[in-house]
Amino acid sequence: MNPRNYFEILRKELVPALGCTEPIAIAYAAACATRELGQRPERVVAKCSANIVKNVMSVVVPNSGGMKGIEAAAVLGAFFGNPEKKLEVLAKIPPDQAAEARNIILSGLCAVELLEGDEPLYVIVRVSAGSHSAEVHLKGGHTNIVTILKDDAVTFAMEQAAGPAEANPFANNEHELKNIVEFALTCDYAEVRDLLDAQISCNMNIAEEGLHKAYGARVGKTLLGDGAGEVRTKAKAMAAAASDARMSGCDLPVVINSGSGNQGITASLPVVEYAKSLGVDDERLYRALILSNLVALYQKSYIGKLSAYCGVVSAACGSGAAITYLKGGSYEQISDTVTNTLATASGIVCDGAKASCAAKIATAVDAAILGHEMAMNDSVFSSGDGIVKDNPDTTIAMVGALAHGMKETDRTILNIMLNKAGKNL
């Protein structure tokens, strides 16, 4: 791959987001629909794919006064969101507007419908006032608007989407991981230093917030206990604490990876903690973060944005690879770290965005650190050990196949979650 493409991937993917990205995608679509309508809505209808429903049910929408769910995201976005801010569409919404949004929801002005079909990430928001309406279709990406309608006439339509080979930014060949490692170790990292500085700053800030306040199940605080802890514990605790805060509606942004704040947290904070512990210089930290982010993104290119496969495993693989680099590991040891992590933690399922994501992050990071330690001792799981194949790129591809084969698992998870509310998918 042309090295320039790796920079383009990082610039596209490492962006700030406020709150869990699935409710924020709904809010963004709603805000864009209101902008197209040109006046305050009188009615909002949000239609969401099953995977969007799964990731919105149990997570607190930021600046909502503690509300959860599709209605909260759609109403806040439609009435008070700033579409120019994209994934920070709900930034700086004051408490009085959150209270007004709650009243709008209670008045029944927002309806929610399930979108059938195979597209995991799909949102349609329709707003109306009097005889006028506007509708926004968002598909395949958290800010990827494909269609806009005004009074049922199309005002914007994205060109036909690229085919699978064109849409995937990675070559996905048997040398892709090696190419990524070589790029991370030799590129002019100054080209993306601003992105990495933002990732370090934003993600560390929300981690500190999670450690010092009672968010969610306080997984990070539990791991850290009363002391600073060894670096292995600190790496898990900081990533978990950031997720604790984020899943509970903290209004601090994170820099995401693969469309996910939890994955952005997992791909960065353990690397930062190991870099601090080792006392490495800035260049080595930046190169480690480039490696971690690209390894995570490469794996997700096979899996897709949303699935039943927990994405923090991919992000933890990135962290593990970067930690091995920071500790002086060879390419073979970096690739063995990836293999070991995938062999250990690929069974974690995604049952939506919620407080327990923090614990899954800690579990995945622990598996990655174990994978790193094994690799540094020249120990790696062999081809034929479950999903492990004879090279890391093929193993990564098989994990993608595993994720795509979990559609029935995904449906079962969704039914379990929806049945709690007396609903069926």
| pLDDT tens per residue across span 34-80 | 999 999 999 999 999 999 999 999 999 999 999 999 999 999 999 99
- Average pLDDT over the chain reads 93
What residues does CATH 3.30.1330 cover in the chain? 18-157
Residue 162 has pLDDT above 80, yes or no: no
Phi, psi dihedral angles at 49 (to 5 degrees): -70, 160
Q: Alpha-carbon Rg of the chain, whole angstroms?
A: 21
Q: Provide mean pLDDT across the span 119-124.
A: 95
Residue 392 has pLDDT above 50, yes or no: yes
Query: 172 pLDDT band (50/70/90 cuts)?
Result: low
- The strand pair at 145-150 and 153-157 is best described as antiparallel
Query: 163 pLDDT band (50/70/90 cuts)?
Result: very low
Q: Identify the weakest region by mean pLDDT among 13-22, 166-175, 292-301.
A: 166-175
Q: Identify the weakest region by mean pLDDT among 126-130, 211-215, 241-245.
A: 211-215
Instruction: Give the dihedral sign, CA 403/408/412/417.
Output: positive
Residue 422 has pLDDT above 60, yes or no: no
What residues does CATH 1.10.4100.10 cover in the chain? 165-419
Query: 168 pLDDT band (50/70/90 cuts)?
Result: confident
**Where on the phi/psi map is residue 228: left (φ > 0), alpha (ψ -120 to 50), or beta?**
alpha
- Look up residue 151 and give its amino acid: D
* Helix (H/G/I), strand (E/B), else coil: 48: strand
Query: 166 pLDDT band (50/70/90 cuts)?
Result: very low
pLDDT at site 170: 86
The CATH classification of domain 165-419, taken from the options 3.30.360.10, 1.10.4100.10, 3.40.50.2300, 1.20.1050.10: 1.10.4100.10
pLDDT at site 358: 96
Phi, psi dihedral angles at 389 (to 5 degrees): -115, -170
Query: 421 pLDDT band (50/70/90 cuts)?
Result: very low
| pLDDT tens per residue across span 110-121 | 999 999 888 999
**Where on the phi/psi map is residue 264: left (φ > 0), alpha (ψ -120 to 50), or beta?**
alpha
**DSSP label at residue 2:** -
pLDDT at site 226: 64
How far separated are the first and last CA of the chain, in Å rounded? Answer: 42
The enclosing H or E element of 94 equals none
pLDDT at site 192: 97
| pLDDT tens per residue across span 302-348 | 999 889 999 999 999 999 999 999 999 999 999 999 999 999 999 89
Q: Kindly report the pTM of this predicted structure.
A: 0.93
Query: 364 pLDDT band (50/70/90 cuts)?
Result: very high
Residue whose entry in the numeric block shows the structure tokens 């500190």: 208
Which of 215, 207, 249, 213 lies closest to 93, judged by CA? 249
Phi, psi dihedral angles at 192 (to 5 degrees): -125, 15
Phi, psi dihedral angles at 109 (to 5 degrees): -85, -5
53, 5 Cβ separation under 8 angstroms: no
18-157: CATH topology is 60s Ribosomal Protein L30; Chain: A; (3.30.1330)
Residue 388 has pLDDT above 90, yes or no: yes
pLDDT at site 320: 98
How far, in whole angstroms, is CA 2 from its chain's centroid?
26
Concatenated DSSP letters of 49-87 = EHHHHHHHTTSBPTTSSS-BSHHHHHHHHHHH--GGGGG
pLDDT at site 94: 96
How far, in whole angstroms, is CA 59 from its chain's centroid?
13
Concatenated DSSP letters of 225-273 = TTS---HHHHHHHHHHHHHHHHHTT---EEE-BTTBHHHHHHHHHHHHH
